[in-house]
Structure 1
Amino acid sequence: MSELIVIAFDTEAAGFDLRTELVKMQKDYLIEMEDVVVVTRNSEDDIKLHQAVNLTAAGAVGGGFWGTLVGLLFLNPLLGAAVGAASGALAGRFTDVGINDEFMKEVAHAVPPGGSAVFVLVRKMTPDKMLERLSQVGHGGRVLRTSLSNEQEQKLRDALAGGDSSVAPPPPSA
C-alpha cells in the first residue's frame, strides 16, 4: 500500500532541495516513489505544480514516433509525425498520473506565499536510513498531511526538525 506524505516549507528552494534528495535516495534504493511533486505558491492565487515527469512532452514524443510510422504507411511521414505529436501532446496534457492535481492545489492553500510543499507518494521505504538522510537535509519543513501511522509521522517530524522533537503538532484536519 502506498503512503502519501506532504511536507511544507517557507521557501521554494527548500522544496526543490528535498525533491532532489528524495531522487538521490531512490537511486540508493532507500525509497521507492510512485510520484513526487513540488508545489509552489508565489501569491494568493498563483499555485504551480512542478511534476517530476512532463506528460505533455512525453506524449508529444511518443505520438510523434507512432505518427511517423503510420505516416510511412500512407507515404506521408511528415504529416503523420505532426498529427501524432499534436495528438500525443494533447493526450499527455489531460492525463493525470499519481497524486490528484486538484487535491494538491487544495492543500497548497495551507502554504504561505513564497513557500512550497512536496507531495510524495511512497510505495516502499527503509524508514531508519531515510529519516537519517532527511534530518541531514535541514530546512525545517513541517508535515501537512500523511497516511503514515502516528509513530511513523512523529519520527518524520523529528527528522525534519533535525532530531528536535519539539515540533509543533499538525493543524487539525477538516
Structure 2
Amino acid sequence: MSSLIVIVYPTETKAEEVRRRLIELQKEYLITLGDAVIATKTDAGKIKLNQLVSTTAAGAISGSFWGLLIGVLFLNPLIGAAVGAASGAIGGALTDVGINDAFMKDLASNLQPGNAALFVLVQEMTADKVLKEISGFGGVVLKTSLDETKEQILRDALQKASAT
C-alpha cells in the first residue's frame, strides 16, 4: 500500500533539493517512489505543478514508435510516425498517473506565494534511514496518509531541523 506525504518548504529550490535526494535514495533501494511532484503558488494565485515525468512527452515518444511501426507495415512510415506521435501526446496528456492533479492543486491553494509543497507517493521505504537523510532540509508536514505515530515522528524530525 502506498503512502502520501506532503511537506511544505519555503522555496521551490529547497523542495527540488529534497526531491533529488529522494531520487538518489531510490537508487540506493531505500525508498520506492510512485510519484514526486512539486506544487507552487504564484503571486497571482495560480498553482503550478512541477511533475517528475511528463506524460505528454512519454506518450508522444511511445505513439511515434507505434505509428512508425504501423506506417512501415502500410508503406507510409512518415505519416504513421506523425499520426502516432500526435495521438500518443494526446493520450499522454489525458493520462494522470500517480497523485491526482486536482487534489494537488486544491491542497496547494492553501500555500503562501513563494512556498512549495512536495507531494511524495511512497510505495515502500526504510523509514529510519530516509527520515535521517531528509530531516536536515526541514519543512512542515501539510498532510500524510501515515498512521498517527509515524506522522508524529516525521513532524518531530522536520521540526528539529527547522528549529536549528
The TM-score range, normalised by the shorter chain, is over 0.9
Q: Which has the higher helix share?
A: 2
Count of aligned pairs:
163
SS at match of 2:98: coil
The runs of 5 or more residues in structure 2 that have no matched partner are none
Following the alignment from structure 1 to structure 2, what is the Cα–Cα distance between the partners of residues 119 and 52?
Answer: 11
1:73 CA displacement: 1.4
> Out of 141, 144, 147, which is 1:149 matched to?
147
Following the alignment from structure 2 to structure 1, what is the Cα–Cα distance between the partners of residues 68 and 161?
Answer: 55
Following the alignment from structure 2 to structure 1, what is the Cα–Cα distance between the partners of residues 123 and 3?
Answer: 7
Matches within 5 A, 1:24-173: 24-136=24-136, 138=137, 140-162=138-160
- Identity rate of aligned residues, in percent? 55
Q: Is the 8 A contact 1:9 1:111 kept in 2?
A: no
1:163 CA displacement: 5.3
Query: TM-score w.r.t. structure 1 length?
Result: 0.89
Which residue pairs with 1:23 in the alignment?
A: 23
Deviation readout 1:7-54 (Å, 9 max, x if unpaired): 011211111111111111111111111111111112243211111111
SS at match of 2:53: coil
1:148 CA displacement: 0.8
Q: Which amino acid aligns with 1:157?
A: R
RMSD, matched Cα: 1.4
Moved over 3 A (4+): none
